[in-house]
Structure 1
């Protein structure tokens, strides 16, 4: 099957390739109950050596500059409590950690989670972290522009492969909240 975005000829419904997904992502796909059918969550193979944005876009399609999003793990502090959260922003944007994220999480201080923490707590590979399958109870802030996309390329939990999902499917994920301006407009 040809993917709806990018130059991928190998798109397959994610429920049929659970063995290619990180364990928490596979579990989320297996238990999917969103308004978008699980078969509309597509998996495509990618070369982890071509993960650099410029090389990735050159290899898999220029349209991916406008149709892909990153999931960033942040650590928020309020009082004596530390909370981890996922934030999804268009790949051309820069997460507004000190503004929109801090307000969205109601936190005094927010910072990017350390690499090791993000990997250990999500059960996913760095560079492949996705909002699909984040730990139960985690807040998930979604930039409104990413949710508005007909199709968006996101991680699969592994550096070897991506998911292509309808943007509206992201809003149905557990803990999801759509936030206007989550990505800093000056950075786009």
Structure 2
């Protein structure tokens, strides 16, 4: 049995957003088109969320944080890929970041740097120097469900807005 989602304008529900997400939305013109809905935090993972709330996996996008290393320096990229795909970390992402080694960012490090909860990380409100890489198919979605910075809610927005985020780059083939 699926549960209904009740979406409201994101800026009207700051308690459903991580503080850096709310702060970023307050400054971003695209925020007027973004909605938020409360969910059971135990159902934040994409598969459980889609099943319980009746959302097609094709309408969901995941944000994976990649840590790239080169010469003792670490850089980060948030990759937005469809829930039905995986980010091409060791191919496209590594080459695009210009790093020798790319891997998923350590949970403790990523949550400390972003101010967001693991399982709810979103590309909205990330640290200013982080790259935001968006798969071309995600940018074409009419509407996408993504994290809100916390496990207890989800954002709903047109995919094109992800491509309009500060520092966003659309990469065909990011999700494989």
Q: TM-score, normalised by structure 1?
A: 0.88
1:74–1:86 contact (8 Å) kept in structure 2: yes
1:182 matches 2:174:
yes
Aligned to 1:46: 39
SS at 1:116 equivalent:
helix
Q: Deviations over 1:89-142 (max 9, x none)?
A: 111111111001011212121111111011111100000000011111211111
Deviation at 1:84, TM superposition (A): 1.5
User: d(CA) in 2 for partners of 1:91 and 1:138?
Assistant: 22
Kindly report the root-mean-square deviation, in angstroms, between the aligned alpha carbons of the 2 structures. 1.5
User: Which of residues 158, 165, 171 in structure 1 aligns to 2:163?
Assistant: 171
User: Which of residues 66, 69, 73 in structure 1 aligns to 2:65?
Assistant: 73
1:123 matches 2:115:
yes
Aligned to 2:24: 28
Aligned to 1:146: 138
SS at 1:183 equivalent:
coil
User: d(CA) in 1 for partners of 2:35 and 2:13?
Assistant: 9
| Corresponding pairs, count | 175
Q: Deviations over 1:35-62 (max 9, x none)?
A: x4x2210001111122344432222114
User: d(CA) in 2 for partners of 1:62 and 1:138?
Assistant: 29
User: d(CA) in 1 for partners of 2:142 and 2:92?
Assistant: 24
1:8–1:44 contact (8 Å) kept in structure 2: no
Q: Deviations over 1:65-104 (max 9, x none)?
A: 1011111111111233210121111111111110010112
Unaligned stretches of 5+ residues in structure 1: 1-5
Q: Deviations over 1:139-169 (max 9, x none)?
A: 1111111111010000000000000011010
